[in-house]
Amino acid sequence: MVFLKRSDQPSRRMFLKAAGAAGILTGMSRYALEEEIEYAGQNVNRHSRPSELKITDLRVAVLRDAPMRCPLLRIDTNQGISGLGEVRDGASERYALFLKSRILGENPCNVEKIFKKIKQFGFHGRQGGGVSGVEMALWDLAGKAYGVPVYQLLGGKYRDRIRMYCDTPGRRDPKEFAAEMKKRVALGYTYLKMDLGINLLRDIPNTVTQPRDLENYNNTKHPFTGIEITPKGIQILAEFVQAIREEVGYELPLAADHFGHIGVNSCIKLGKALEPYQMAWLEDMIPWEYTDLWKTITDSIDVPTLTGEDIYLKEEFIKLIDAHAVDMIHPDLATAGGILETKKIGDYAEEKGVAMAMHFAGSPVSGMANVHCAAATQNFIALENHSVDVPWWDDLVEGVPKPIVQQGYIPVPETPGLGVELNDEVVKQHLRGSDYFAPTPEWDRIRSHDRLWS
């Protein structure tokens, strides 16, 4: 502690003299000072009371090809900040609009509270897209309100960049297919995936056994189609993989997807035939809900198995994980219930020794939601990129370095929320119709009794 000598202490007379002078100066410059304060404060962030934040609106804008049909959504608030989310590709924007009346007036920072209120309105497949998209937008708002990136609200990050794996549609010629895969490697991708299925055997005799005039193939689950691959067909498919391995080598992981609606026996035979090629995983060989059949396939082959992109919420993942029915899980954040639910799925899998890759096909809005979740989840392996061949994909958003994917990775944003804002002009060029976040007053009112208990 410092003590002043008596001679150093200011006298009452000195104090009054100084105060009088200050009063004169204040009187002379009061108006100039007010102008200075107003000027200095014009750029101050006034979104400083997260506890008073309220949701005032929800609107949508539907992309027609990004690379698929992706409804974007925007949640507005009473403090002038908005949050962006995205309904899963191919899903109806109505899945999100239906939730508007349930979230109006809520504080978006109460993410889990709101999620528990609306999660009953989602389901497996595309029906989980509305809840998941709203949940993304809530995290974007919470991050902006508190001035931190979303990953920080999830507990921090394990990595500074997110490895992408590159999906590649099939080519009917093995050499052409291999050349396309080599182009992915040249772009810097360190994880690859190929489409490998009975569509590559089309018009080749004696490769597939199936009932003639099979009706409603797309909506018939695999065990019920009667389709099996012949030894000739399996050999041809293996030759596709062999050609790709000869082109890209064995150092990079190579996964496969889109086998077709084939029976369990064909899945096992094909898996055995692909064992020499060191596959990273075989994806969605049969529908996800057949836990026992998945375990039969997994236990029968020495190639990792993976499923999960159509599963909503953690409970069904838990069944697969506990049974060790698959080697890896593969949630789509835009189906699974959003950012926090997907992290919970990953965290549970980690405890059981199961790795998590992440399925994704959509705009950079959902892409960044995945990036934050992947950064915060320890057992993450790789995130899908379905837009390598879409030249304007990066241009849909602003606020992050371009290109968004850099040598096979996306850097984790350090800016508040998801870290991106829409480039309005570019988005408008790729809309279905002309509506760009048009008003949605018809969805303001609740018209049902939602409680699930009496």
What type of residue is 250?
A: Y
Kindly tell me if the per-residue pLDDT of 40 is higher than 70: no
How far is 15 from 139, CA to CA, in rounded Å? 53
Q: What is the pLDDT of residues 337-355, one digit of tens each?
A: 999 999 999 999 999 999 9
Kindly tell me if the per-residue pLDDT of 103 is higher than 90: yes
Kindly tell me if the per-residue pLDDT of 29 is higher than 70: no
pLDDT of residue 68: 72
Kindly tell me if the per-residue pLDDT of 8 is higher than 60: no
Residue 432 vs residue 355, higher pLDDT: 355
To 10 degrees, the CA torsion angle through 89, 94, 96, 98? Answer: -160
Q: What is the pLDDT of residues 296-324, one digit of tens each?
A: 999 999 999 999 999 999 999 999 999 99
pLDDT of residue 292: 98
Q: What is the mean pLDDT of residues 371-394?
A: 96
Q: What is the pLDDT of residues 242-297, one digit of tens each?
A: 999 999 999 999 999 999 999 999 999 999 999 999 999 999 999 999 999 999 99
pLDDT of residue 36: 53
SS3 track for 35-103: HHHHHHCCCCCCCCCHHHCCEEEEEEEEECCCCCCEEEEEEEECCCCEEEEECCCCCCCHHHHCCHHHH
Kindly tell me if the per-residue pLDDT of 147 is higher than 70: yes
Kindly tell me if the per-residue pLDDT of 42 is higher than 90: no
Number of Cβ within a 10 Å radius of residue 178: 20
How far is 130 from 96, CA to CA, in rounded Å? 4
pLDDT of residue 390: 93
Q: What is the mean pLDDT of residues 424-451?
A: 94
Kindly tell me if the per-residue pLDDT of 396 is higher than 90: yes
Fold of 50-148+437-443: Enolase-like; domain 1 (3.30.390)
Kindly tell me if the per-residue pLDDT of 358 is higher than 60: yes
How far is 229 from 269, CA to CA, in rounded Å? 9
Kindly tell me if the per-residue pLDDT of 159 is higher than 50: yes
pLDDT of residue 25: 42
pLDDT of residue 168: 87
Q: Which two tokens stand for residue 275?
A: 């064992």
Residue 47: band (very low, low, confident or very high) from pLDDT cuts 50, 70, 90? low
pLDDT of residue 220: 96
The residue extents of the domains of the chain are: 50-148+437-443, 153-418
225: left (phi over 0), alpha (psi -120 to 50) or beta: alpha
pLDDT of residue 100: 98
Indicate the range of 33-42, 43-52, 143-152 predicted with least confidence: 33-42
Fold of 153-418: TIM Barrel (3.20.20)
Its pTM stands at 0.89
Number of Cβ within a 10 Å radius of residue 424: 12
pLDDT of residue 30: 53
Kindly tell me if the per-residue pLDDT of 12 is higher than 50: no
pLDDT of residue 436: 96
pLDDT of residue 21: 47
Q: What is the mean pLDDT of residues 185-197?
A: 96
pLDDT > 70 in the chain, percent: 89
